[in-house]
Structure 1
Amino acid sequence: MNLLETIALNLRSASSIAVLTGAGVSTASGIPDFRSSEGLWSEDQTREYYMSSHYFSYNPEDFWKKYKAIFRIKLLKNYHPNKVHHFLQELESDERDVSIITQNVDGLHEKAGSSQIVEYHGTLNHASCPKCGKKFSLDYVMNQPVPSCSHCHCVLKPDVVLFGDLITAHEEAEKMITQADFLLVLGTSLLVTPFSLLAEQACRHPALSTAIINNEPTGKDHLFDYVVHQDLSAAVDTLRELVS
């Protein structure tokens, strides 16, 4: 039995699956992987400075200009779920819960129809007023060079976790993992903390089987029961056949 067959067996038998997903899940949808060895973050390290809560407070007008350019937000509606997103949704059934904890901010898991999602780093799909908390849609955000609240007239802040912001979804994500029978990690290098800590904590849990599928080796591979280095779309094609 090869590794994908073993992973498929775990997926079929588990009543609760937790899935950690990273940028590699969305690359087949045309969205760049910002943190891979060839990702966009490696092109210009100053992006971390510009995409920070500090810079948003210091120069919100220029922040919004750079934010829209860096995340190619104008193109967001052109992106659609790919076979990986759809496969995870298809795993859901009356007998099986699937909880997705994603680093991705593109909203494609929700668009694919998955029902239990923690967007660990937030979402590009809306922004909020820092003063009154009112949320505004992507259409609203795109219709203004510097979007502001229609009520307070404050400059809106994106609902993504900027550098310097606190992660608020960690406890919810931890709870999903502790309730699972099987942890599947897809398309992430596990370089970013505290997201990477979720995998580390899960892999120390003796009753939880764990697997990672990623195109490249990661520094956390040794923690997992099953490790597959393969194109994610190809691996999912195989898993779909084995699980169905």
Structure 2
Amino acid sequence: MTAPRNIVILTGAGISAESGVATFRGPGGLWEGHRVEDVCTPQALAQDPELVHRFYDARRAQLAGVEPNAAHLALARLDAAWPGNLLLVTQNVDDLHDRAGSSRLLHMHGELKSALCPACGNRIAWEDALPPETECPNCGTPALRPDIVFFGEMPYHMATIEAALAQADLFVSIGTSGAVYPAAGFVQTARHYGAATLELNLDPSEGSLWFEESRMGPAGTLVPAWVDAVLG
């Protein structure tokens, strides 16, 4: 690739799993005996806020013991060096892309290190445990919740993401299951607008048939090799 191009990259749980971030999904993907879907919905938050807050407190605390891996670092290197438009969209709520140094980055499913006030919409950087009924420092409402997009809620930044996909020359999906919409449909949107499509994954995703090219293997191996080739 010699001329600047517009690139959109989507990352999922597979890229962070190699850093030791638990995915809580798939076979045996239970937390304290609960299906993840049972602690990641607005209904669950209303019915058992202690359980939901404890689940996200555990995930937030886990971040202290993990570091960005070679795939995160390679994407940050691409971000810094790429002269054209580039947008990195992650489904992950960890901060590993941020710590690796990516700046053209959107968290479409929210962030563990952020709290949200449902009353006033205020978002606050948050590092520690977040007990139920914590007061919002902006409006005083005792209802701060994890700033996470629950099942059934609209992901963040969708207008920006869709605009980028419409202009993309290349769409790359890394470490995603292809099972969670709307992200699972990004490849179809990109193809509709004429972008080339590439999947880098440990195993074929549920949407593999939509990609022009699929490369299977660990993200920590595939992504640095792909970035080296792109920056050439």
TM-score range, shorter chain: 0.7 to 0.9
Give the match for residue 44 of structure 2. 55
Q: Is the 8 A contact 1:125 1:137 kept in 2?
A: yes
Give the match for residue 89 of structure 1. 76
Distance 1:116 1:240, change over 3 A: closer
Deviation at 1:40, TM superposition (A): 2.6
Aligned residues with identical type, % of pairs: 29
Alpha-carbon distance in structure 1 between the residues aligned to 2:95 and 2:113: 7
TM alignment of 1:1-244, pairs within 5 A: 9=1, 13-35=3-25, 37-38=26-27, 40=29, 46-69=35-58, 72-92=59-79, 93=81, 95-139=83-127, 141-142=128-129, 145-146=131-132, 147-150=134-137, 151-205=139-193, 207-242=194-229, 243-244=231-232
Deviations 1:200-239 (A, max 9, x none): 211233x311100101112211211111111211112433
SS at match of 2:105: strand
Alpha-carbon distance in structure 2 between the residues aligned to 1:55 and 1:240: 41
Deviations 1:153-186 (A, max 9, x none): 4121111101232224222211111122111111
Unaligned segments of structure 1, at least 5 residues: 1-8
Q: Is the 8 A contact 1:131 1:154 kept in 2?
A: no
The structure in which a higher percent of residues are helix is: 1
Deviation at 1:85, TM superposition (A): 1.3
Deviation at 1:58, TM superposition (A): 2.7
Q: Is the 8 A contact 2:78 2:227 kept in 1?
A: no
Q: Is the 8 A contact 1:51 1:67 kept in 2?
A: no
Alpha-carbon distance in structure 1 between the residues aligned to 2:126 and 2:173: 29
Alpha-carbon distance in structure 1 between the residues aligned to 2:68 and 2:40: 25
| Equivalent residue letter for 2:75 | L
| Equivalent residue letter for 2:177 | S
Distance 1:30 1:172, change over 3 A: same
Stretches of 4+ aligned residues off by more than 6 angstroms:
none
Alpha-carbon distance in structure 2 between the residues aligned to 1:184 and 1:103: 14
Unaligned segments of structure 2, at least 5 residues: none
Deviation at 1:39, TM superposition (A): 6.8
TM-score by length of 2: 0.86
Deviation at 1:111, TM superposition (A): 1.9
Deviation at 1:89, TM superposition (A): 1.6
SS at match of 1:80: coil
